[in-house]
Structure 1
């Protein structure tokens, strides 16, 4: 039996288990099209009730990371690798592509956190992380009270 450190406390236990499983999908422990361990095995590993494991697995199904094949079990979807990537990284990549292809030219105002949140269906915090990632890469700058603007490319 593999003992896994899923601490109880703040946040629901099933979310913590889902996060561990999501990480295993991302790192290839559970490869694309591979079968996930059964509910009994996971409930023993995480020392929780099967219902808690079911909730974690259901969260992964809702995120379309796994699929259920009746009578066979749960399998990692083939396109899961991109979905496991944090949402803010996907948003930052989309905005980076717009900057690199010229759709957002030098000096252009980027969409606000609120607008990005509406467009991608995410919280402002997630949008902010995406924008901060672009700032850290030197692609945009934040002008207090005005917004974020595309910077000229550095050689």
Structure 2
């Protein structure tokens, strides 16, 4: 994939095991619960913010999501597709567009990553690229399952 590098800011990371496992209301989606949690945390200044929001760019590959520093180009975070539980975008009360990634580690811990975009177009582009990565992974998996192994040659 030669997808674009999407600029943004890495704002916060926090564990949300209790939010996912307990759930506060059966009538609300996980996305709604997470956005509500983030907005209330923001109002109470309880987000686990990085020291200063880091300028990053995001790339989507066939393996997952890669977040790199804009200044040093060093990879700060990789989230494999298989560990990506949720991706959603929202506009907060201050008019800023955010993306939320929830990853499930192999030890069944859920971590939320909050990123801020410069505009809505960047958020839409990221969602579209992640969606396409999942579609391509499903198509590749279906091809592998449908291919019969070669028959042994008789020599």
- Same fold per superposition (TM over 0.5): no
Question: Comparing both structures, which one devotes a greater share of its residues to strand?
Answer: 2
TM-score class, shorter-chain normalisation, is: under 0.3
Question: Comparing both structures, which one devotes a greater share of its residues to helix?
Answer: 1
Q: Which is bigger in relative contact order (C-alpha 8 A, separation at least 6)?
A: 2
TM-score by length of 1: 0.27
